[in-house]
Amino acid sequence: MLTELAPLLLALVLQAPAVTVSVAVDPSANRHAISPLIYGVSFGDDAQAAALHWPSRRWGGNSTTRYSWQDDIANHASDWFFYNIESQPDPGTLPDGSTADLFVDATKAAGGETVLTVPIIGWTPTDRVRRWGFSVAKYGAQQQTECTVTGYPSWCQPDAGNGLHTDGSPITGNDPHDTSREIGPDFVTGWMQHLEGRVGAAGSGGVRFFALDNEPDLWNSTHRDVHPAPLSYDEIWQRTVDYASAIKTQDPNALVLGPVPWGWCAYFWSALDGCGDGGPDLAAHGGVHYLEWYLQQAHDHETANGVRLVDYLDIHYYPQANGVALTDDESVAALRLRTLKSLYDPDYIDESWIGTCCGPTAVNLIPRMKGWIAARYPGTKLAISEYNWGGDTGISSALAQAEVLAIFGREGVDLATRWVAPDPGSRVEDAFRLYLDYDGAGAAVSGDSVEAVSDNVDDVGAYAVAGAGTRLFLLLFNKATGDRDAAVALPAPLHWRARLWRFDGANSLGGAGAVEPAAGALTLPLPARSATLAATLLDFGDVPLAHPFYDFVMTIADDGVTAGCSGGNYCPDAPATRAQMAVFLLKSRYGASYAPPPATGTVFADVPAGSFAADWIEDLAGLGVTGGCGGANYCPGAPVTRAQMAVFLLKTLLGASYVPPAATGIFGDVPVGAFAADWIEDLYGRGITGGCQASPLLYCPDNPNTRGQMGVFLTKTFGLP
């Protein structure tokens, strides 16, 4: 009997409704701006940068600690046999055209900010010659060489050892000059001068962000060939004073990030102390933990000298639970997704050695760092310039990455760069695209973080962003292995549709339809292990649901043509100006992400470059849609008449060469031969307008075109969805 019932029972299970998770959103609560710099990466290829426009792009990592901008060569330290390896073939123009130069150029061209790691270790490669730190001939047999590791290919160097005796103990007393030469702060300021000559100073479009090296608390292991001694509190602070002071003197607009520790232990203790209380360095500094002490020193220095040396507290963070970071291991998917709580939850005990090393320990990373900043050096920003929640292909890695970015926005991180940029076309790239280009046409999530509370964060993470005008973005991450429904409620009823974009384990990021609200709330289906973006609109304060133009106004707002006038209003009865019209027309025709060429200020006498809508007005003129209002002017502040609107609409839609059919005089107030009569009747024939009065049929050609009417005209002319 049970065997006969099995198919029926299975069918009932498969048809069971998805579990509902309640999400409460309040656009007026916990509101603060989200920094666009949190959506950054380290390195990555230039084509991807040009496509996604990374807001911040970091030049960092172990090899940058001893990168020479003069010779375009870096020492790869313990990552590869303490080897000086040139970064590219010699372009013949060095120091111009170095790998770093090309990185800065490409990042700037893509509209991003370079976060440049500058060496403060005091060493750089001697010249542009391959050299290695631990010669077998000089220091004896070693545990590994480049040849034993690579299988003796023809290119390997058998003399390049790993710096460990055959018993695994480190070689000591080596000569740093085997690979490197001494440098000081002038090496960094010389690099700054070089970059200023290429791309300008920090205040004029050049490089603004300078990170004080990379994980200096690991120098005694990673770069032990030149810095074998463990770093102390006093050494890192003295190097900060020396190098940051030089940077600020060279360019007062430069922003300095420090001290760039590797992770948990280095937040509390110096390398001299190791990883726990009781060390000599902590004791010598009043028992104040490492980063707190560092922040206090920076505060005291500014108080005494009037110069802020450290603008960003810059840290690295990798979740320490086994298999979570830097792998595509899906066997730890649930663990990987739980560890997201280490970023913000004071009650989440870390499921790694951190959670047990010092009693039950919660990382509580971002609130902890912000608390230290508030107590020790208020006004300092927070950067997380290295982090990673998994490889590029696994769905749990991608889902974690997408939620990490939402957490950074909600918790107020100021700058973040993933290690490293995801592979193009990967699921983790989709996680970034969800914020930077969710519709494939340049639409981005931006604005203010607002309150969104999920009643089951382990199943569904929920975040909300208030965008321009009344735009509201909902970011929902279903971490469960089964489908979930998100029941989204707001303080005021929601009337407008939510458009959805989504990725999951089987599908890359793409449109996922739209959902209409019911009884003022949204119920959004969330497939298992998926990331969903829902973009909707709150009502404009002056365009209620009963307004005759409600659907049209909401349509053009939803399509990104306008964000309203101000203060959550649309101003439907206000005349549309000729300047506003230029923006409305071109966005309706080419999409919300369209950007016209920069204005020259030479087309119209009353539209100087830099004035409101100047780019759009000159673009409209360049397309032949307008020749201005006469006398070499455009009259940007003048209202657009309904007659003018007919011409503008059809020329924008059909091209400047379009000629409408001859008018027959169907409107009582638009006789044959009147200005724009042909265009007005063509507009009527296309069903775009019914005139301003039905009986008798009138068009009111000289009346100003209101912003409400504009919504109707644009929606119908361009077929806006």
β-bridge pairing 460-466 and 471-478? antiparallel
Pairing of the two strands 19-26 and 484-489 = parallel
The Cα 350–Cα 580 span in angstroms is 53
Q: Which residues contact 190 (CB under 8 A, 6 or more apart)?
A: 69, 70
Taken as a whole, the chain contains a residue count of: 721
- Contacts of the segment 281-285: beta carbons below 8 A, 24+ positions apart: 281/232, 281/233, 284/233, 285/233
Q: Side chain identity at 275, as an amino acid letter?
A: C
Rounded to an integer, what distance in angstroms lies between the CA atom of residue 106 and that of residue 574? 44
Tell me phi and psi for residue 415, to 5 degrees. Answer: -155, 140
CB under 8 Å, gap of 24 or more: what pairs does 351-357 form? Answer: 351/321, 352/319, 352/320, 352/321, 352/322, 353/320, 354/264, 354/320, 357/275, 357/276
Q: Burial, 170: exposed, middle or buried (Cβ in 10 Å; 0-12, 13-18, 19+)?
A: middle
DSSP assignment of 531-548, as one string?
A: EEEEEEEPPPTTS-TTST
Helix (H, G, I), strand (E, B) or coil at 694: coil
- Please give the structure tokens belonging to residue 196: 């200023």
Q: The tokens of 589 are what?
A: 């025709």
Question: Which has the closest alpha carbon to 344: 412, 419, 276?
Answer: 412
Rounded-to-integer distance, Cα 176 and Cα 164, Å: 16
pTM of structure: 0.96
Distance, CA of 651 to CA of 623 (rounded, Å): 9
Secondary element (H or E) of residue 581 = helix 578-590
* Rounded Cα–Cα distance for residues 677 and 657 (Å): 17
Distance CA 94, CA 101 (A): 10
Residue 359 confidence (pLDDT): 81
Residue 49 contacts residue 110 (beta carbons within 8 Å) = yes
Partnered with residue 182 across adjacent β-strands are 123
Q: Which amino acid is at 595?
A: A
Q: Which of 309, 230, 307 is nearest to 270 (CA)?
A: 230
The pLDDT of residue 665: 97
* Distance set, CA 191 to CA 31, 197, 442 (Å): 40, 10, 34
Q: What is the pLDDT of residue 68?
A: 98
Q: What is the per-residue pLDDT for 308?
A: 98
The residues near 326 (Cβ < 8 Å, ≥ 6 apart) are 318, 388, 390, 391
- Region of residue 556 (left: phi > 0; alpha: psi -120 to 50; beta: else): alpha
pLDDT digits (tens, 9 = 90+) for 381-408: 999 999 999 999 999 999 999 999 999 9
User: CB-based contacts of 566: which residues, under 8 Å, 6+ apart?
Assistant: none
Closest among 616, 588, 597 to 720, alpha carbons compared: 588
Query: Residue 354 contacts by C-beta under 8 Å, 6 or more apart in sequence?
Result: 264, 320, 361, 363
Q: Which pLDDT does position 17 carry in this prediction?
A: 80
Tokens of 641: 């008449």
Separation between Cα atoms, residue 160 and residue 179, nearest integer Å? 12
For residue 100, which of 90, 113, 87 has the smallest C-alpha distance? Answer: 87
**Phi/psi of residue 312, nearest 5 degrees:** -125, 130
**Cα–Cα distance measured from residue 319 to residue 401, given in angstroms and rounded to the nearest whole number:** 12
Listed residue (348, 336, 443) closest to 398, CA to CA: 336
| SS3 of residue 480 by DSSP | coil
**Residue 1: its pLDDT value, please?**
46
Residue 63's pLDDT is what? Answer: 97
Structure tokens at 468: 């321009």
437/416 Cα distance (integer angstroms): 18
Strand ranges (DSSP E) for 578-667? Answer: none
Bridge partner residues of 357 (DSSP): 359
Q: How far is CA 85 from the centre of its chain?
A: 31
Question: Could you say which residues of the chain have pLDDT below 70?
Answer: 1-16
498 and 536 Cβ atoms separated by less than 8 Å: yes
**For 164, which DSSP code?**
B
pLDDT digits (tens, 9 = 90+) for 102-125: 999 999 999 999 999 999 999 999
d(CA 191, CA 194): 5
Amino acid at 625: V
Alpha-carbon span 495 to 363, nearest angstrom: 41
| Residue-range domains of the chain with CATH | 36-127+187-318+374-436 (3.20.20.80), 447-537 (2.60.40.1180), 550-718 (no CATH)
Paired residues of 471 in beta bridges: 537
Q: In this predicted structure, what is the pLDDT of residue 12? A: 45
- The string of pLDDT tens digits covering residues 32-60 is 999 999 999 999 999 999 999 999 999 99
Residues 6+ apart with CB under 8 A from 209: 56, 113, 114, 115, 116, 254, 255, 257, 312, 415
